[in-house]
Structure 1
Amino acid sequence: MRYLKDRITAIVYILICTIIAGVIFYLRGVEPAIVIYVFVLWIAVGIVFVILDFISKRKRIKVLKNIAMTPFFKDNMLPKEGNSVEKEYQTLVNNTIAEAREKFSESDSRITEANEFYTMWVHQIKTPISAMKVLIDSGAERDMLSAELFKIEKYADMALSFIRVGSETSDYVIKQCNLEKVVKDTVKTYAPLFIQKNLSVSMKNLDIYVLTDEKWLGFALEQVISNAVKYSRNGSVEIYSENGILTVEDHGTGIAREDMPRIFERGFTGANGRSGRWSTGIGLYLCKRVLTELGHYIWIESKENVGTKVHIDLNSTELKVE
């Protein structure tokens, strides 16, 4: 019955044509026997056509039902198109499937990335927590406990930033910002670590305005300054700008030449990271990702046992200004 309903237009058309032909035959005085013969032949051919078309349609519907019950759609599963309309529908379906696969792949990639990060993050944050327990049991001084608590706080901030950077609605607010203020606020945050490692900080030529997001630029600087303090042995960390390029320079352990091509990869810690405990391999990855979103460019120069220079070009931004 469903098939007949789908073909009702064609059936009505055939009946109308039959009636018109009968009227024409009658008016032309064709013998009734010939008229009956033609009508019977016509109806027989029509019935055969309907039966064959019904069988073909039933097979195609069966294929489509099987596809609907298949968990994963594969290429070339759809039956061969029967006409131009079906061809257009199949093109539409295939395009929709391609878009869905792309979205699924992106979502799966983000989930995998998040799982890897949080697995690593949990292992890393356990280190300062364990250190604090030992320090509390041994009656350690407040400064030592504060240093470990600071690490935990920075790990928590990094996790929140990881979520925000991965969001499609990151809250970037682009406007003219005073670079000196951003740098000083960041250095102030890491003041306890500078004091703990007996490091001085030098800041020059920073009183300029740059087009950026103050909060996210501060986050990127935190990762850079954190590494500068972490891997410095003694002396000072120098922060200065020239022609709109901000440079953070330390005189620490430097980066191995073989590690340089991979320093911005997610989860890569390098020789320095593997030798220490406080390294997630995520800081520079997030730093580059944030700066790229802001339209800034970052690159690094480094020599082992000499030091590292991190350069950030703040001259341009591709984001919309407030």
Structure 2
Amino acid sequence: MVTAYLKSRDIPLLLVFLPLLLFPVIFFLYHLPWESLLYGLLLYTCAALALISWDIIRFLETHRKLCQATNSVVDSLSALPEPRDQIAQDYQHLLNLLSEEKRRLVSDWDIRLSDINEYYTLWAHQIKTPIAAMDLVLQTARDGLDVQGSAELAE
């Protein structure tokens, strides 16, 4: 989790810690008193750590919400957290487009399945009539042979 946070915030963190490296060099080059440098760096470090802590908490909270959303997202994207920046909005827009495409494909598949089911039901119904007619013809032919055979036996 820490590495994921560091990878997602690499440039901002570099910009936060860059003054910690630059200020000592400037103080050394201008022969300024080290006490004021140490006091300034202490205040800056405390403020930077507070901001980084707040950002880590936001990052973890968003990560937790996304993990919960992955467990509950089936057909709705309403479980996703509100996007905080343009990139997150773009991702949510992309997810909405993909969700709509999925719904369209499922709907098309349902229609095709219904059409296939209707076709085979109609086919089965229509094939029953010729089969029943052939069965009736065969029964009539058998009855005719039975009647004819018994008449020949009676003679």
Percent of aligned pairs sharing the same letter: 27
1:67 touches 1:77 (CA, 8 Å); kept in 2? Answer: yes
Would you say 1:14 and 2:16 are equivalent positions?
Answer: yes
2:65 touches 2:81 (CA, 8 Å); kept in 1? Answer: yes
- Determine which of 68, 89, 92 is the counterpart of 1:90: 92
Which of the pair has more CA radius of gyration? 2
- Determine which of 89, 100, 103 is the counterpart of 2:102: 100
- Determine which of 79, 82, 87 is the counterpart of 2:81: 79
| Structure 2 residue aligned with 1:116 | 118
Letter in 1 for 2:18: I
Q: Secondary structure at the match of 1:139?
A: helix
CA distance in 2, matches of 1:61, 1:127: 64
Which of the two has greater helix per residue?
2
| Structure 1 residue aligned with 2:149 | none
| Structure 1 residue aligned with 2:135 | 133
2:23 touches 2:37 (CA, 8 Å); kept in 1? Answer: no
Cα shift at 1:28:
4.3
Paired positions, count: 140
Cα shift at 1:111:
1.1
Letter in 1 for 2:140: S
Cα shift at 1:29:
4.5
What is the CA deviation profile of residues 125-153 of structure 1, one whole-angstrom value per residue up to 9, with x for unaligned ones? 2222122112112129xxxxxxxxxxxxx
Q: How does 1:168-247 map to 2 (within 5 A)?
A: none
Q: How does 1:307-318 map to 2 (within 5 A)?
A: none
| Structure 2 residue aligned with 1:35 | 37
Q: Secondary structure at the match of 1:101?
A: helix
* Cα pair distance change 1:67/1:115, threshold 3 Å: farther
Which of the two has greater strand per residue?
1
Cα shift at 1:74:
0.6
| Structure 2 residue aligned with 1:69 | 71
What is the CA deviation profile of residues 157-211 of structure 1, one whole-angstrom value per residue up to 9, with x for unaligned ones? xxxxxxxxxxxxxxxxxxxxxxxxxxxxxxxxxxxxxxxxxxxxxxxxxxxxxxx
Q: Which has the higher contact order (CA 8 A, sep 6+)?
A: 1
CA distance in 1, matches of 2:72, 2:131: 49
2:65 touches 2:80 (CA, 8 Å); kept in 1? Answer: yes
Computed over aligned residues only, the root mean square deviation of the Cα atoms, in angstroms, reads 2.3
| Structure 1 residue aligned with 2:50 | 48
TM value normalised by structure 1: 0.39
Gaps of 5+ in 1: 141-322
Cα shift at 1:93:
1.8
CA distance in 2, matches of 1:89, 1:98: 14
- Determine which of 55, 58, 61 is the counterpart of 1:59: 61
TM value normalised by structure 2: 0.75
Deviating runs (4+, > 4 A) in structure 1?
none
- Determine which of 20, 23, 26 is the counterpart of 1:24: 26
